[in-house]
Amino acid sequence: MKVHAGNFKTIKLEYAIENRTTGTSGKSIYWYAPEVKYFVKCQYDKNYFLGVTDWELASFKLQK
C-alpha cells in the first residue's frame, strides 16, 4: 500500500455494518501495516458515514 508516508506491506480489513431499523448499510476499509503497528489508510462509505473523512498516514519514523 502506497501512502504519503511511504510504501508498506499491509493487511486489508473490511468492516461492514447494517442498520436493520433503517435498512441502510455501509462499510469501512482499513489497511494495517505490521511494520508501523497501526493503520496506514482508511476509507469510509460516504453514503453511510456522513461527515467522516478518509485519511492516510502522512509520515512515519521507526523508533529504535
- Cell numbers given for 12: 486489508
- What confidence tier does 30 reach under pLDDT thresholds 50, 70, 90? very high
How confident is the model at residue 45, as a pLDDT? 92
Q: Which domain holds residue 43?
A: 2-56
Residue 62 lies in a domain: no
How confident is the model at residue 32, as a pLDDT? 98
Quote the CA–CA distance of 33 and 17 in Å, as a whole number.
23
Domain tally, the chain: 1
Of 42, 12, 16, the C-alpha closest to 27 is 16
Residue 64 has pLDDT above 80, yes or no: no
**Residue range 17-29: mean pLDDT, rounded:** 93
- What confidence tier does 9 reach under pLDDT thresholds 50, 70, 90? very high
Residue 50 lies in a domain: yes
